[in-house]
Chain A
Amino acid sequence: MTAISERSGTDASELHPAGQVRRRAPRALAQRMPFWVFTGALALIFIYPLLWTGVASFSPQPGTAQAEGWGVGNYVTLANYQAGIWQYLANSAFMSLLTVLLTVAISLLGGYAFARFDFPGKNVLFLATLAILMVPYATLLIPLYVLLNQVGLANSLVGVSLVLTMFQLPFSLFMMRISFESVPRALDEAARVDGCNSWSVLWRVLVPAVKPGLITVGLFAFLTAWNDFIAPLILITDTNRMTLPLAVANLRVQVQGIVDYGATEAGVVILALPCILLFLILQRHYVRGFMSGALKG
């Protein structure tokens, strides 16, 4: 690692904005120290709040369930809060998985349609889908609240999933369309010659080819749904159907306006853990999602 950094690392004197990539002759380790210290400190700023919360959720703290000694007192408080953490976890998991399922299914079929077929209204539909990005969240949630009430999906996790799926469609459709377009058409044609219809071409030939795109779309749908706050805040009123972010935010003020910081820390840990794990495992797909977003510009 040292050898690699020495060859192409920059030192602190190059940190001003003009710091263009420039390879320099290897220099003494001591001269590169300022760079390591500076960047290490920067990295620490980004990691420290996460580490601190993780440690603090187990540490002794007056005014919390874990007043003395180290332990899981805060997590016990969290587990017994109102409907119980398991209920909120189950709500969040159900809502997130349904959103992932819907988003992946719709954008898979839609991306296939846009990349491989010509049909009237194609461009209008594509533009209408992208236009979702232009409209503020709140502008749509107010009429959606009324509409969902009318069709009996008020206060329902399914309703929240439908709404979150809709908000994911611009990115997901775009991602799947470029995924399909990057697969050579010769592949479909060969399968057609072998007697496949469009459905079996999709399943047997194309789905394996666009799998990375599907993983990216699914990952983003999960992270968005798991973390979303506004949609459940507006659409869910029943405490038993709240999602985890909502429950943790409400849990802060328990009795007589006293904030249970310990239980909040535990809640943040439980909220963040799946996201950080998924990020570390699927970092490549995560980065690619942003990259495709950047290509749009």
Chain B
Amino acid sequence: MAEKLIGKDIAAPDLLAKITGRARYAEDFRVDGMVFCKMLLSPMPHARVRRIDASRALAMEGVIGILTADDVPQVEPHREPVLTNEPVFEGQPVLAVAAVDETTAADAIEKIRVDFEPLPFVLDPLDSLRPGGPDAHTHGNVRVDGEWRRLKWSAADFAEAGDERLPMGEATAEWSLGDVDRGFAEADVIVEETIVHQSLTHHPLEPRTSMAYWQNGKLYAFTSTQSTQRTRGALASALDMDPEDIVFVAEYCGGGFGSKISGSTLMQLPAIFSRKIGRPVMLRITRYDENYIGRARPGFQGWVRMGLRKDGRVTALDLYLVEEGGAYGSGDYGTAGNTAHLMYQPENMRFRAVSPYTNTPPKAAQRGPGGAQIVTMLEPIFDKAARELGMDRVEIRRLNAPGPESTFGPRETPLTSVFAREALERGAELFGWEEKKRLSGTRSGSKLTGVGIGLSPYTAGSRGYDGLMVIRPDGKLYVHQGIGNLGTHSIADTARPAAEVLGLNWDQVEIVWGDSSQGLPRSSVQAGSQTIHAHTRANHAAATDARRKIQEIAARTLGGTPESYTMDGGRVFRRGNPGQGMSFAQVARRAIALGGRYDGHEVPEGIHAETVPSVGRVAGQGLVGVARDDYGGEGAIYSWVAGFALVEVDAETGVVEVKEYTGVADCGTVVHPRSLGAQILGGSIQGMGMAMTQRWVFDPEWGVPFAKRLYTARPPGMLDVPLDLRWDALGIPDPQTPVGAKGIGEPPVGAGAAAITSAVADALGGRCLCRTPLTPDIILAELEGRRTFGRLETHVG
């Protein structure tokens, strides 16, 4: 391939609109007759609504209507309803009121009397597992094989563990590979720790606002979401309607980090409310609402035992995770177990986990779900083993990292490609590991220096989606993207292979996205860092289809075989005779005249049913390229980031200052360097916040959260980021995909976070506090031998 575009810095086409404010996010839309709604949130962590008296609110001037749990689709108790009469977390929406403006709606909410009956609640999953402990749901505290259970451990389980070690009763998930006892028997060094990882909210800049109205039986829905076409599908399925009856608009998204993968449950609300009152309804989610309904990464209480031979190989890994499941459950623990195995390739491993429901806001994927937490928790413990063995920390990681033949997880999954060792080597070189590691544990004044490493893998691709594009009579290529514009530039970057295949310059390419009425193909969800991989493939396939059709039209028009034609700069011409050819504009007109499969009136076999009507929408606009990604492939697609950090811990204040950070990625071919750098460093910084500052705090007596404003939740700020930030990517293509690119959104989070937890432990002479976030109080209390939070306490602050 000519590769005029791959690997270049090209600004995304939405940049100007974002900078000038012209970009319309969900809350910027206004339509005639639109009303605003506000929600009444549950004041209790678990309650039952006994009675609602809305008469005073409904009598107010300007109040249009009320929507309660009785008006929304009924779902099973473990699924999140739009509105509920049995809230299972403080802040859960109970009802909504629509009014001519928001202040009226808010005043009306306060006039509604809701009689709540408080029910037992639980914040800490271990409390739910205690004998006689409370259950977060009236049906039980865990779900096993699709059934509710009340899982309680014995008093002996708790007594045996004491206050310092994780109690480990019956697990609900368990797998092992090899024989972990034998592995420990073979080990020369065994390290064991109890760990606590906090829960933290996503805090995207844009809250999950939605607006909706109905016209001629069609639903017009506007929302903030990471994906587009798949969010439309999710909305259709929630409302039990045909996706084709929804005009779905989501052109911009102010961040999601996993919390808006296919929209949110609440995006149904304006649609349902609008249907009830016959007016367009806007639900502007505030920062406060967002805190409750905007999802969170689940926290863990964990226990790990790791055995290593003298040569540095991990012989055994025994891992037990108690996950805080939140109001509607979570599955981060599964990925955490697999990731632990992938990272260290232990010869024997046992994994156990339990994820009780808790009366805390719902959990969801957060950038590297499960993986980021486990890397952050395990890396400093792994360092401890390296220290005991007297081995270099880069070397011991290289030694245990997977290679081309490696597999991971209980199903022994292979990988499409892995260059983790190379990433470590390149990172060590760029960071200056050999020189910096000499600073490890040194003290200057009150400052203790530490260096740390986080090697973090995460999923990075998927296969089998559709590409759809049109060359219109203006001669330009219109790439129809069903993917969402979640702020990563993938909306444009995944179209680059199409331009390359068709020999187009970038200014001859237009991106069509964010509005389902324009005809968008079946796409992946924008999650799991899969987009660059999945959709460079899909667009490559569709462009290849278009290329073939262009060649055919040229051959039909100008004679010769299709193969004898090539193309460049918007013209198709005879190989060796550029004068004999036609412009793409001419090709497009010819395609329309020919009809059939050339202009989309005939749909090829094998494309997804959801793409078929979209092809219908573009049919007749020009030459249509449409195809499914049939490139195939075997094994899981993973990218890696090796993060290196140098920190200074002030022994007199407990403050950690990150002085230097380097992140090096194994993510295949680099499509857009500047954007890639933003992902590697941006993700790493998000990880630093997870390791150092960000948290959620609950009052244990009342079960309500506190750190619910940005200034108390403390995502990292400018001054928490080192000035010396470096990144690089190996640029080794994945052999199984035509463009060679793998995703990068998620792996950096674990790398950034683990580099910090590892570096802080290093600064403290190898002492792993085994708790995040590493706030000054916890570090200082440890150094000064002061009282601090309990070993297993969660939600602290």
The judgment on whether A and B are partners is: no
